[in-house]
Amino acid sequence: MKALITWGGWEGHEPDKVAELFRGILAEAGAEVEVTDSLACFDDAEALRDLDLIVPVWTMSELSKEAAQSVSEAVARGTGLAGCHGGMCDAFRSNVLWQFMTGANWVAHPGGDGVRYRVRMVEDHELTEGIEDFDVESEQYYLHVDPANEVLAVTDFPTVNWYHAANGPVEMPVAWVRRWGHGRVYYNSLGHKASVIEHGPAFEMLRRGLLWAAGGKEEAGEVTGWQAAGNHY
């Protein structure tokens, strides 16, 4: 298994520590892991297609159209994509292809850090089997989410009485899987700090998610034609 972890962006999310946590998970599973703090790794489209897994840890920041297309084409051909919190679904806010591929974009965390909320498993799936509902004290992510996602876990809003509370209760996805072409995509909104995901059920969810996403390469054969008409943005 060959994996790429690239980290950077807003330092408040401890991207270096989260990247190291991910590296440890993948190395323990026997993966050959490259870790970089540069987005230049997305410039080599052929190298990306040779990977089993791409793990972005980049809150905010900017990604070029060409780099996003290179990642998209690699994932469409079977390379997995997995990540957490702002490092994947608050990355590259101006890049709509990235948002489409990952399945959501962050819009708010009412109450900020330190909100106590429950994460509930909602899908009978290999990635959640045996994991019980659990409480988290962290940021509670409100996301604009693709309805095509296969949601594995949710949290209930509103927890904090803010402007959104006037809309009444909603179940907000916390973790999901999806497909992008022949590639597997996994996302988990936990991980504001590395300490939130370094142990317990949150860690186990992410460990399974990373390995699941990396396991899709063997399913993908020779893939062509993913750059169909209408891919302009």
Looking at residue 223, its pLDDT comes to 53
Closest by CA to 124, choosing from 146, 145, 153, 83, is 153
In a domain, 78, yes or no: yes
Structural domain boundaries, residue 193 = 2-105+173-219
Residues 33-73 pLDDT 10s = 999 999 999 999 999 999 999 999 999 999 999 999 999 99
Q: pLDDT tier at 230 (50, 70, 90 boundaries)?
A: very low
**pLDDT > 50? residue 229:** no
Q: Quote the CA–CA distance of 10 and 15 in Å, as a whole number.
A: 8
In the chain, the number of structural domains is: 1
Looking at residue 123, its pLDDT comes to 79
In a domain, 85, yes or no: yes
The mean predicted confidence, pLDDT, of the chain is 95
In a domain, 33, yes or no: yes
Share of the chain above pLDDT 70, in %: 94
The domain that contains 182 carries what CATH number? Answer: 3.40.50.880
Residues 98-128 pLDDT 10s = 999 999 999 999 999 999 999 999 978 999 9
In a domain, 92, yes or no: yes
